[in-house]
Amino acid sequence: MLRGTRVGVIGLGYVGLPLAVEFGRQYPTTGYDINRERIRQLSRGRDSTLEVSSKELKHSTNLVFSTNIRALKRCNTYIVTVPTPIDQYKRPDLGPMIMASESVGQVLSKHDLVVYESTVYPGCTEEVCVPILERVSGLKFNRDFFVGYSPERINPGDKQHRLTSIVKVTAGSTPIAADRVEALYASIVNAGTYRAPSIRVAEAAKVIENTQRDVNIALINELALIFKRMGINTEEVLKAAGTKWNFLPFWPGLVGGHCIGVDPYYLTHKAQEIGYHPEMILAGRRINDNMGLYIAGEIVKLLTDKSMPVKGARILMMGLTFKENCPDLRNTKVVDVVRELQRYSAKVDIFDPWAAAAATQHEYGLKLVRKPRAGFYDAIVLAVGHAVFKEMGLKSIRGFAKKRHVIYDIKYLFPAQATNSRL
């Protein structure tokens, strides 16, 4: 434990809240967020993201929540964990980072430390955020205050790999600042820390973690498209290839969420800014971004092959969140499938016991059904691999369909021979 440390966490989403809870076990900690409803829920001991339990919130005895930026004034260590999305043109949207830096600048004092965890392109912390901190606070970087970077590695919905059990990469703007950042995280992370030689290296390490996964999944998606045309079962191919010790276990599917489907654009943005046009990364993004349209097209073909009209077809989409067993709806690519089927004038119902109806309506203007109607649907799409769907069993799921129907299993939940098609 570092004596005298008082922590402020800016942004209390999937990344910030677990961090605030852990620091709140040892240090006076203030969790700050501009979302008043979010603060009300947390103050009552409830986390709508389901990343932190009510018990964990209760045991974080030194943690308080606030929407008032002045409440951060008592802190001397600030950790920024706001989202870093992309805009409609797939360019980095640094708005949340800029606003958070302006907020911290208002309360920054001499000798304070500001650590950023949000995923950005290499150089962003020092090129974009630090000048804002200097301008708003009137203090001088690396003389009056210091900056660190420690990329988040939260995996929403994963109860095995959690904050304290994942090695934390750390970096600081000076050797002394690096010591301070490393010691701070080492005090709460059981798995240990890894000190990067610079903030830019730590930023780059984070952004390539998800870029690497994106490119690998894109390769498997492209292989699935090829094998489909060749009449070869992709699952059988992957199982056969997987018998080799160094074959990487990636599977085809939709690539959404706030990380894998977004982070590569931060790296490609910076690459293009310095005069390099990245080919493989952008090619992978194009493949993955178009998978929703491809899947919708396959469903249309299945209906057509059975002489079932697409216009007016009743289709049940099982799952909307971007991944299984998690309520996170950010950048879910299931929406692409829904929208494309609606363009064919199909009538799509969405059933997802993990998704919140209000958030679904707010984010996408879509409504959820509480329970699918029995014997009602022409097509059923298994879009997200929630455990609850697997537990229902295919026989129960077929009970939602008409006698003549098609089932498309995106997530390989059931044996290939039991469904009409899959990737």
* CB 8, CB 48: distance < 8 Å: no
Q: Which amino acid is at 140?
A: K
- Listed residue (99, 14, 90, 130) closest to 267, CA to CA: 90
For 68, other C-beta atoms within 10 Å of its C-beta total 10
Q: Which amino acid is at 166?
A: I
Number of residues written out for the chain: 423
Token pair, residue 40, equals 């009300």
Residues paired with 86 in a beta bridge: 92
Catalytic residue among 124, 129, 259, 326: 259
- Listed residue (287, 298, 207) closest to 255, CA to CA: 287
| Residue 79: its H or E element | strand 77-80
75 is catalytic: no
Token pair, residue 137, equals 């606070």
What's the per-residue H, E or C state across 279-345? CHHHHHHHHHHCHHHHHHHHHHHHHHHCCCCCCCCEEEEECCCCCCCCCCCCCCCHHHHHHHHHHCC
Give the C-alpha separation, 63 to 402, whole Å: 53
- Listed residue (180, 78, 178) closest to 132, CA to CA: 78
Q: How far apart are the first and last CA of the chain?
A: 50
| Torsion from C-alpha of 108, 112, 117, 118, nearest 10 degrees | 20
What order do you get walking across the sheet with 63-66 strand by strand? 63-66, 29-32, 7-10, 77-80, 113-116, 146-149, 168-172, 193-195
Residue 9 — φ and ψ, nearest 5°?
Answer: -110, 120
Give the C-alpha separation, 105 to 141, whole Å: 12
Residue 287 — φ and ψ, nearest 5°?
Answer: -60, -50
**Which residues belong to the active site?**
259
